[in-house]
Amino acid sequence: MFSRPVDTDRAPFREPIMTEQAILMRAVNKYYGAFHALKDIDLTVERGERIVICGPSGSGKSTLIRTINQLEAIESGTITVDGIELTAGGDNVAKVRRDVGMVFQSFNLFPHMTVLENCVLAPMKSRKISRTEAEATARQYLERVRIPEQADKYPAQLSGGQQQRVAIARALCMKPRIMLFDEPTSALDPEMVKEVLDTMIDLAREGMTMLCVTHEMDFARAVADRVIFMDNGVIVEENAPEAFFNNPTNERLKNFLGQIA
């Protein structure tokens, strides 16, 4: 185990430690009641890797990324994030959640708080950072997602694209090492998709480890190191974007690519 300094002002995207994978999933199975949602999933994500996950609706994409911060508990298998095994008990889950940011399709900003309050709550409560410091960090990230002037507004006063960028900034304020995106642009009007994707591309360029569930294939081509296709709770195909899009081997993937093209 490497030990991570708990200093709060560590560089947000410092050089990855190359000794361990960011995420290791081994033989992961997840059931909803009798329904087998994830079937023997094996997945390794290297530090700094950008992965795009696609697949038909109901194939288990959301379930897969939600097991990584244990929004969904698994029935069998192991998940290790940053060297911390999720299922090993103790406060491992809390530790992992502090280092894994998540962005949802429906933004899920806290509507009763201003943008700034949304951004400082978790750093203050779960990283125990002072308000002054948390606000400074928040303003810095709001600047990065290009909406510093909205800090004192409420989420309902912002456009969808702005809300999603706040959600990204809010996650970044925890200075995570890994970011999970679950269809971050699916709820947006078409003219707002680009501003959110651009923010994500910036993040990818800075070396963030990213898992993105998305059907934005141009985004996948531009930033993904690997694209994964899921169907029926199984990872059916995974490949570098070039090969993934140009030479798909699986029939269902060919079908799927035909549909979304």
Ligand X SMILES: Nc1ncnc2c1ncn2[C@@H]1O[C@H](COP(=O)(O)OP(=O)(O)O)[C@@H](O)[C@H]1O
Candidates 41, 59, 97, 162: give the one binding ligand X (CB under 6 A): 59
- Residue 205's SS3 state is helix
Helices then strands, each counted (H, E), the chain: 9, 10
Applying CB under 8 A, the span of 10-18, 90-98, 135-143, 225-233 interacting with other proteins comes to 90-98
- CB atoms under 10 Å from CB of 6, counted, come to 8
What does each C-alpha distance from 130 to 127, 134, 136, 139, 223 come to in angstroms? 9, 6, 10, 14, 35
150 near Mg ion, rule: CB under 5 A: no
Residues 144-163 that bind other proteins (CB under 8 A): 156
37 binds, among ligand X, other proteins, Mg ion, none (CB under 5 to 8 A by kind): ligand X
Q: How many residues bind other proteins (CB under 8 A)?
A: 24
Candidates 62, 69, 162, 209: give the one binding Mg ion (CB under 5 A): 62
Tokens matching residue 73: 């508990």
Burial 60-93 (b: 16+ CB within 10 A, else e): bbbbbbbbbbbebebeebebbbbebebeeeeebb
Of 40, 44, 22, give the one whose Cα is nearest residue 30: 40
Q: How many residues bind Mg ion (CB under 5 A)?
A: 1
Residues 19-58 that bind ligand X (CB under 6 A): 32, 35, 37, 55, 57-58
Candidates 23, 28, 47, 60: give the one binding ligand X (CB under 6 A): 60
CB 164 within 8 A of CB 185: yes
Judged by the rule CB under 6 A, the positions of this chain that interact with ligand X are 32, 35, 37, 55, 57-63
Judged by the rule CB under 8 A, the positions of this chain that interact with other proteins are 69, 71, 94, 97-98, 100-102, 104, 106, 108-112, 121-122, 125-126, 156, 167, 170-171, 174
Judged by the rule CB under 5 A, the positions of this chain that interact with Mg ion are 62
